[in-house]
Structure 1
């Protein structure tokens, strides 16, 4: 029997420059499986203050926040959780009676994956990208005990600021540097984007590395991940990140933590049709 939507159904949403289907399918699958009176819908906007005002005024329970809004939304919120305040980047907004609080579940997801994959903390890594997601990733590395890092960003202002804040070095491009771990936190390789077939690092750079981490979630196998797997490198994928951070968002919205088996089914369903 189809789910019934009523005046009491609570709306959750997402704000993204490029809305995708993963979050919508993942969250709605869990809402239905757990018989929760919620519904989730993805949006984009050209008027961020009005969109955030709508969350507040309409009693929307919460919103995921993706590029390019993770930093720009901060002045429009009432409070930041420690996870967002520490890195000045928000990927989740939760509304309680008109009070908007920002969180960052990307940060916790990345920290969890570094631990579960057993990445050695004494390696030298290079991260390409210094935007909102870049802040979450670099901060997770720092707080997980990684001391030897390089931020690669053409934007000197944001790149050097992120590097300095995390205790790492900055340079505009990788050049002759050959780190043990390569981390992509740019849209390069993103499905549907103008650079969907692009690599964040050259084949020679990937071959020289020991680990590869691509935060791009769609496609599941990005060009960078395919190349790294083909070279026999251990990888961490954006597909793993997106599931972990989405689960934490679901918990923030509903107060319910799904069982692992249900999470796996929801993730498989969300990936089946993008």
Structure 2
């Protein structure tokens, strides 16, 4: 039975330009399953400094941070964990008695998935995107030892800056590149978005690739993932990233690490 929120309930939340349901369902499912007096809520804001000040003032224990706030939050917190400081992007804030410390569990999730899927570090890759999540993925690739990479981004400031920071090259369009690993870190294919039915990469590029990584979490089977699977390509999905990063947030907020089976159940429920 779900624990009813009370004045003693610990509140956690997330801030996003377009709030989703995955985090809400994932965290609250585990709170109920483990009998923790916590409650999680998603929100957006037009006044980010006031929202972050509210975390501190109201004693909100933890806050997930999504697009477009991952970089804008940095000057508003008190401390950066190494996972966030190394890439100048955050996705998690933990409030310890009014002291706000920021982390990046996206980075942790990507590093873990590259290992779990045994992606060879000598695989040339293209990463499409240049925002906060793209930073997390690019830095995870760099730190894992991937040296042959191209950042593809139309933003002629953020794209080259990300490429330079990680030691990769940059170009505004994919063009004739046919790398072994294709990585989409844009909203293309995201449920409810204007490009929900679009492919992040053209079919010829997918056919030539050895594997595909789509960071879009909802739906789990984006148009890019479906095409790659139909062509027999190994894939890494955004749903996998979402589950791992949410788990690490959960541990930071509660100090409790659920079992693998409990996490599987929570992720299935969150995607349902």
TM normalised by structure 1 equals 0.98
Partner of 2:44: 44
What is the match of residue 182 of structure 2? 182
CA offsets 1:95-146 (integer angstroms, 9 cap, x no match) = 0111111100000100100010011110100000010000000000000111
Residue 2 of structure 1 and its aligned partner are, at CA, apart by: 4.1
How far, CA to CA, are the matches of 1:45 and 1:35 in structure 2? 30
> Equivalents in 1 of 2:161, 2:5: separation in Å?
46
Question: Who is 1:92 aligned against?
Answer: 92
- What corresponds to 1:79 in structure 2? 79
How much has 1:21 moved relative to structure 2? Answer: 0.8
Q: Is 2:151 aligned against 1:151? A: yes
Q: Given the alignment of the two structures, is residue 217 of structure 1 paired with residue 208 of structure 2, yes or no?
A: no
Moved beyond 4 Å, runs of 4+: none
Aligned pairs for 1:107-122 (under 5 A) are: 107-122=107-122
Q: Aligned runs of 1:152-171 on 2, under 5 Å? A: 152-171=152-171
In structure 2, how many angstroms separate the alpha carbons of the residues matched to 1:72 and 1:197? 30
The whole-number CA distance in structure 2 between the counterparts of 1:265 and 1:4 is 21
SS at match of 2:121: coil
CA contact (8 A) 2:126 2:179 kept: yes
Gaps of 5+ in 2: none
Q: Is the 8 A contact 2:2 2:32 kept in 1?
A: no
Instruction: Specify the alignment match of 1:138 in structure 2.
Output: 138
CA distance in 2, matches of 1:13, 1:60: 8
CA distance in 2, matches of 1:204, 1:260: 37
SS of corresponding position for 1:257: coil
* Alpha-carbon contact 2:183-2:215 (below 8 Å) kept: yes
- Residue in 2 aligned with 1:14? 14
Partner of 1:151: helix, strand, or coil? strand
Cα RMSD (Å)? 0.7
After superposition, the C-alpha distances for 1:207-233 in whole angstroms (9 at most, x for unaligned) are: 111110000000010000001001111
- Output the CA distance in 2 between the equivalents of 1:94 and 1:166: 27
Q: What is the alpha-carbon distance in structure 1 between the residues aligned to residue 29 and residue 60 of structure 2?
A: 19
- Give 1:250 deviation, angstroms: 0.2
The structure-2 alpha-carbon separation of the partners of 1:2 and 1:31, relative to structure 1 and needing over 3 Å to count, comes to closer
Structure 1 residue aligned with 2:56? 56
SS, match of residue 13 in structure 2: strand
TM-score by length of 2: 0.99
Q: 2:246: which partner in 1?
A: 246
- State the Cα distance separating 1:176 from its structure 2 match: 1.1
SS of the residue aligned with 2:157?
Answer: helix
Aligned residue for 1:40, secondary structure, equals strand
* SS of structure 2 residue aligned to 1:100: strand
Measured in 1, the distance between the counterparts of 2:122 and 2:39 equals 44
Q: Kindly state the Cα deviation for residue 4 of structure 1 after the two structures are TM-superposed.
A: 2.4
What secondary structure does 2:163 align onto? helix
